[in-house]
């Protein structure tokens, strides 16, 4: 797989048997991209579910994210090796810096260099960033080169469309991965989304995911319910009209859901 798959399975907030079941169901339904992170505390369970699935490693696209306390050069590679052991694999396909965490004591060019070293050692096929604003993305590009950064994984939903940041990333040729695409489910009750869903005989979740896919983003929705996992996948075949897209574009309200103190940058 040379590019980041457009549709993956997120595992944020899923623990223990819940995440094992979600990943098992997802793989059975045809998901082949799985997104996790060190701080999620579920890499071992994700690895267990993958091992039990019988799906070949080469058919999967695995993403994990380095947590803030592991950014120092003497910690980043060892922490990724621990993640690989939990995931029961000798490499992941993508490793991200989870949050820029300005002022945490490790300079950006230092942790980006350590991440590039992890790739050089074959521990990860690609590297990228998550939750970086324009200025910090520029610094990451300066540190490791534009072509080295596979994606910036950012919060994006119809209520938080992040157009300035997306425009910058796309101009630099850096792929956009959307998380929190359903805004913790808040957009699912939106009457505009509901009307579009009714018109297409689709679910609101399918409409929102199809919106993100049409804009060229990858999406990684999670669910604990097999029927929702199956339903979400159908968003890939839902074709929204230009009119539908325009109505969703008008829903922007800077509705950010995730903004942790000490980890988040100054948002654009």
Could you tell me what percent of the chain has a pLDDT over 70?
99
Rounded distance, CA 143 to CA 128, Å?
12
Domains of the chain in sequence order: 9-186+217-222 (3.20.20.100)
Helices 191-200/242-249 angle, 10° precision = 170
pTM: 0.97
Quick one: average pLDDT of 83-107? 96
Residues sharing a CB contact under 8 Å with residue 237, sequence separation 6 or more, in sequence order: none
Rounded distance, CA 47 to CA 252, Å?
37
Q: What is the pLDDT of residues 157-172, one digit of tens each?
A: 999 999 999 999 999 9
Q: What is the pLDDT of residues 200-246, one digit of tens each?
A: 999 999 999 999 999 999 999 999 999 999 999 999 999 999 999 99
pLDDT at 103: 85
CA separation (Å) from 208 to 10, 13, 186, 226? 16, 21, 11, 19
Q: Are 84 and 123 in contact (CB under 8 A)?
A: yes
Catalytic residue ranges:
40
Q: What is the pLDDT of residues 120-158, one digit of tens each?
A: 999 999 999 999 999 999 999 999 999 999 999 999 999
DSSP string, 195-238: HHHHHHT--HHHHHHHHHHHTT-EE----S-HHHHHHHHGGGG-
């Amino acid at each position: 797989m040379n590019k980041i798959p457009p549709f993956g399975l997120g595992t944020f907030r899923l623990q223990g048997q819940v995440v094992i079941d979600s990943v098992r169901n997802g793989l059975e339904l045809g998901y082949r991209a799985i997104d996790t992170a060190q701080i999620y505390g579920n890499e071992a369970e994700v690895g267990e579910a993958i091992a039990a699935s019988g799906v070949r490693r080469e058919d999967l696209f695995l993403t994990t994210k380095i947590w803030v306390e592991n950014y120092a050069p003497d910690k980043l590679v060892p922490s990724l090796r621990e993640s690989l052991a939990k995931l029961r694999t000798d490499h992941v396909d993508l490793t991200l810096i989870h949050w820029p965490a300005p002022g945490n004591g490790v300079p950006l060019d230092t942790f980006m260099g350590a991440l590039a070293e992890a790739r050089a050692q074959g521990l990860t096929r690609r590297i990228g960033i998550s939750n970086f604003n324009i200025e910090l993305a520029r610094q990451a590009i300066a540190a490791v080169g534009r072509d080295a950064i596979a994606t910036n994984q950012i919060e994006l939903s119809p209520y938080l469309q992040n157009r300035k940041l997306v425009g910058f990333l796309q101009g630099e040729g850096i792929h956009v991965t959307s998380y929190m695409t359903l805004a913790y489910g808040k957009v699912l009750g939106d009457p505009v989304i509901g009307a579009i869903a009714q018109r297409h005989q689709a679910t609101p979740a399918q409409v929102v995911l199809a919106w993100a896919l049409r804009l060229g983003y990858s999406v990684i929705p999670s669910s604990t319910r097999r029927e929702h996992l199956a339903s979400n996948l159908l968003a890939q075949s839902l074709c929204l009209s230009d009119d539908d897209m325009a109505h969703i574009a008008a829903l922007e309200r800077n509705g950010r859901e995730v903004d942790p103190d000490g980890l988040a940058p100054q948002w654009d």
